[in-house]
Amino acid sequence: MGGMLIIGAGLAGLTAAETLRSEGYEGSITLIGDETHAPYQRPPLSKGFLAGETREAQLTMRPADALAGKNIRLRLGTGVTTIDRTARQVTLDDGTTLAYDGLALCTGARLRPLPLPGADWQGVHGLRSLDDAKAIVAALETAQSVGVIGGGFIGLEVAAVARKKGKQVTVLEAADRLMARVVPPLISQFYLDLHTSHGVEVVLGAMVSELAGNNGRIAAVRTKDGREFAADLVLVGIGIMPNVELARTAGLDVDGGIVVDACGRSSDPSITAAGDCTVRRLADGSLRRLESIQNAMEQAKSAATALLGRERPFNAAPWFWSDQYDVKLQMVGLTAGFDRMVTRGDPATRKFSAYYYRAGKLIAIDSLNQPGDHMNGRKLFDKGISPTPEQAANTGFDLASLLA
């Protein structure tokens, strides 16, 4: 018997391993990670850890001895090269093979590279791993001017930390607004005003053409229209790419991610997948890709349960968050396709929520420094309750009363 193998020792992999145990599985479990660190939290890397408010030890989710206590074997610094689905075994990068009865792919994602001249200058960084974050922390000690390529969550969170450290910061975003992939124009404008008010130079519609350097080090970012922005540290935040190569080579269904159902099952009944490496096929046949802590955890629980032959579909509304300066953005649902928006509270106070509707039904809520709105919103979605736009916009109406 081969037991259970989990490839990827991030949040999804760890959750899958611990779920197998909590669901009563008594066979062997091996958790394989290509990094040398025990499973750790990624969200603080661009926030508290970069700001010096969170220590490295606080990032660790489970040390190796805690996993050993659950009889979960942790193999770090180990890559997997191939999956033999017929023999039900994987080959590691040192040539050894491991058999499996069930396999969970939690291979995560990697940074999308910047395909431009100068991208390999010293001082050009991406932020995905703990080692990436440690390198940026060290670089921020001496940096004077920080260039951020990409105005998404990661780029803006790093920009906020760098600005709070007194650095000159320029954000270069190719789109015509910030965070355009995940928020509507109202929220984009709010964050443009927020960063500008803190002294960040935000350049929209910026088409970066080259990273210029001196003596092997980054010195400036150039755009196609001839402008040049000084930067002795550059953060490239232009997205991530799911790690699907192992699954694709093994012949699994891959389409912008490892294709899974609501229970995390891949096209092979003995293989599940969870986290940033996946894309979920919805009931209407469309595909949805989510990059979030919630998705990694809940999908991993479903994937582990499926390996035991049980059903645990993950259907909850997605939620996300971002911390920038003194503003916490909390999001639930997906705004795509909304046809009406109402606000609850005054954006000028930096404490408000936006409620999004499609055909009269609530589909998403963005809350800024309004944790109560966010938690109520998650409960409303879980119960399938949709307040009217008039109720949502009326601060005198208690939305929690709808949950009674």
Same domain, 231 and 251: no
Please report which helix (H) or strand (E) contains residue 162, including its range: helix 153-164
Q: What is the pLDDT of residue 1?
A: 59
* Distance, CA of 158 to CA of 50 (rounded, Å): 8
Q: Give the number of other Cβ atoms within 10 Å of residue 119's Cβ.
A: 17
**383-392 long-range Cβ contacts below 8 angstroms, 24+ apart:** 386/360, 386/361, 386/362, 387/355, 387/362, 389/340, 389/342, 389/355, 389/357, 389/360, 390/342, 392/342, 392/344, 392/355, 392/362
Same domain, 129 and 231: yes
CATH of the domain at 225: 3.50.50.60
Q: Does the residue 184 lie in any domain?
A: yes
DSSP per residue, 20-69 = HHHTT--S-EEEE-SSSSPSB-SGGGGTHHHHTSS-HHHHBSS-HHHHHH
Q: Does the residue 118 lie in any domain?
A: no
- Chain centre distance of CA 87: 34
Same domain, 342 and 395: yes
Determine contact, residues 334/364, Cβ cutoff 8 Å. Answer: yes
Q: Does the residue 312 lie in any domain?
A: no
State both tokens at 252. 């699994």
Q: Does the residue 314 lie in any domain?
A: no
* Distance, CA of 396 to CA of 116 (rounded, Å): 53
Same domain, 138 and 41: no
CATH of the domain at 383: 3.30.390.30
Q: Which of 253, 275, 307 is at the close of a domain?
A: 307
Q: Does the residue 316 lie in any domain?
A: no
Total domains present in the chain:
3
Q: Which of 236, 270, 292 is at the close of a domain?
A: 236
Determine contact, residues 137/49, Cβ cutoff 8 Å. Answer: yes
Which range of residues forms the domain containing residue 265?
A: 4-110+241-307
Same domain, 146 and 213: yes
* Distance, CA of 184 to CA of 289 (rounded, Å): 18
Q: Which of 213, 236, 259 is at the close of a domain?
A: 236
Under DSSP, is residue 356 helix (H, G, I), strand (E, B) or coil? strand
CB crowding 186-201: b at 16 or more within 10 Å, else e = ebbebbbebbeeeebe
Phi, psi of 403 (to 5 degrees): -90, -10
Same domain, 97 and 144: no
Same domain, 36 and 106: yes
Q: Does the residue 158 lie in any domain?
A: yes
Q: Does the residue 157 lie in any domain?
A: yes
Q: What is the pLDDT of residue 356?
A: 98
Q: For the chain (length 404 residues), average pLDDT per consecutive 10?
A: 92 98 97 97 96 96 94 97 97 96 98 96 98 98 97 98 98 98 96 98 98 96 97 97 98 98 97 98 91 96 98 94 97 96 96 98 98 97 97 96 92
- Nearest-CA neighbor of 118 among 220, 228, 256, 9? 220
Q: Does the residue 190 lie in any domain?
A: yes
Same domain, 150 and 227: yes
Same domain, 339 and 194: no
Please report which helix (H) or strand (E) contains residue 159, including its range: helix 153-164
Same domain, 52 and 129: no
Determine contact, residues 163/131, Cβ cutoff 8 Å. Answer: no
Give helix then strand counts, H and E, for the chain. Answer: 11, 26
Same domain, 52 and 149: no
Same domain, 248 and 104: yes
Residue 52: Cβ-neighbour burial (10 angstroms; 0-12, 13-18, 19+):
exposed
